[in-house]
Amino acid sequence: MRMRYIGLMLTAPLLLAGCMSEHQPLGLPDSSVLSYDGKNVVPPDCNALSAPSTLVDGGFTRPSVAFGCATYTNLGAMLARPADLVAPLPPGKASAALGASAVRHYYEGTVAPLGKDALQ
């Protein structure tokens, strides 16, 4: 019984690893469907992303679904600087002293409250 358990424990990861080694065959879009026209983000063409439904509900074919269209349209609308799609800025230097100071103030209970205009 113990040998069977050990054998199962050794082969299960190999079987599961084989399932995860391939890319998804669904043809779902990635962030490359967003583009930049020099001023604004151009959202994806939802008709091009549309996949026809193969399901039938009560004798009627369900409508097609554009997987990823809303996700990437919303992502494009949330970009504060659309030029980051083609030429992102390098990250700034991190300040360990500033971060440590913030943590120290938090632990000591001396965090200054935000002003009224800070939340607007």
**Extents of the domains making up the chain:** 24-88
Is the Cβ–Cβ distance between 67 and 75 less than 8 Å?
Answer: no
What band does 113 get if pLDDT is binned at 50, 70 and 90? Answer: confident
Cα–Cα distance measured from residue 66 to residue 71, given in angstroms and rounded to the nearest whole number: 10
* Helix, strand, coil percentages for the chain (3-state, nearest 5): 50, 10, 40
pLDDT, residue 41, reads: 87
Contact partners, residue 79, CB within 8 Å, separation at least 6: 41, 85
User: Which pLDDT tens digit goes with each residue over 2-54?
Assistant: 666 665 565 655 555 555 445 544 666 777 788 888 888 888 888 888 887 77
pTM of the model: 0.47
d(CA 7, CA 97): 53
CA 29 to chain centre: 12
